[in-house]
Amino acid sequence: MAILCPNVDLTDFERRIGYTFQRRDLLTRAVTHKSYAHEARHEDSRHNETFEFLGDSVLGFVIGDLLFHRFAELDEGDMSKMKAYLVSAPILAEKARDLGMGDVLMLGVGEEKTGGRKKDSLLANLFEAMVAAVYLDGGIDAARKFIETSFAKDIAAIDSENLLFHDYKTALQELAQGKGLPLPNYHVVDEVGPDHDKKFIVEVKVGTLAARGEGSSKKEAQQQAARHALREAGA
């Protein structure tokens, strides 16, 4: 028997994402994982894999357009790095978590038991599927608004920080992949200071390599940890 998470409220979810669907079937399909559709075995249970494909394309176009107009003075290589960072699976999974998308994801029994609602891969795909659903329901303007709202803080941070700051995590991931190591694993080891001036300390591990970084946000601390790990690795 397939599982729809208990007490699911798609109306509340629409409020969270800031978009109300005219066609609720598009929203339902966007939150339906293939494991649910395969176990349900009826015509109405169509899953979201093709939505992921379309959403990836729409997301890439909108992010590319935003970066092109915001950073027109940069070359193609720098903008490509920015785009790769913003549309990476960890970032998309983070967006999905921020919006509580995992709470409305329809999963089969097996995926439910193995913690599918918390998997980065499923959540990143779910975010892409939601972009597609918004695009199909409201057109490119609605999709653009949804994406701009979701990424506003990230793009503003790139605008206000040294551009290279945002390359450390990507560079560390590429280094790990090039050496056949597991992907970097980040976790918060401490939080210090009052709420209005809190500092986060994050540790990153890549194989036997470990390094720590500090920042006023978890993202900044992760980037600094990646920066220190790269130094330790001699990169």
CATH code (residue 120)? 1.10.1520.10
Tally of domains in the chain: 2
Looking at 120, 141, 160, which one is the last position of a domain? 160
SS3 140: helix
Share above pLDDT 70 across residues of the chain, in percent, rounded to a whole number: 88
Average pLDDT over residues 44-59: 88
Whether the pLDDT of residue 40 is over 90: the answer is no
Percent of the chain clearing pLDDT 90 (strictly above): 36
pLDDT of res. 60: 96
Position 167 confidence tier, pLDDT thresholds 50, 70, 90: low
75 belongs to the catalytic site? no
* Secondary structure E strands in the chain: 185-192, 199-206, 209-215
Q: Are 45 and 98 contained in the same domain?
A: yes
Q: Determine the Cα–Cα distance for residues 106 and 99; give it in Å rounded to an integer.
A: 16
Residue 159 has pLDDT above 70, yes or no: no
Confidence (pTM): 0.67
Active site residue 174: no
Q: Choose the weakest-confidence range: 18-27, 108-117, 149-158, 224-233.
A: 108-117
- Residue 1 forms part of a structural domain: no
Q: Of these residues, 94, 128, 167, 220, which one is catalytic?
A: 128
CB atoms within 10 A of CB 143: 24
Whether residues 105 and 150 share a domain: the answer is yes
Confirm whether 3 is domain-assigned.
no
Provide mean pLDDT across the span 86-97.
86
Answer yes or no: do 138 and 210 share one domain: no
Residue in 52, 56, 167, 220 annotated catalytic:
56
Domain that holds residue 183: 166-232
- CATH of residue 217's domain is 3.30.160.20
Considering 160, 185, 210, which residue would you say is the last residue of a domain? 160
Average of pLDDT values for 82-101? Answer: 87
What value, to the nearest 5°, has the Cα angle with vertex 168 and ends 124 and 234? Answer: 135
Chain mean pLDDT for the chain: 84
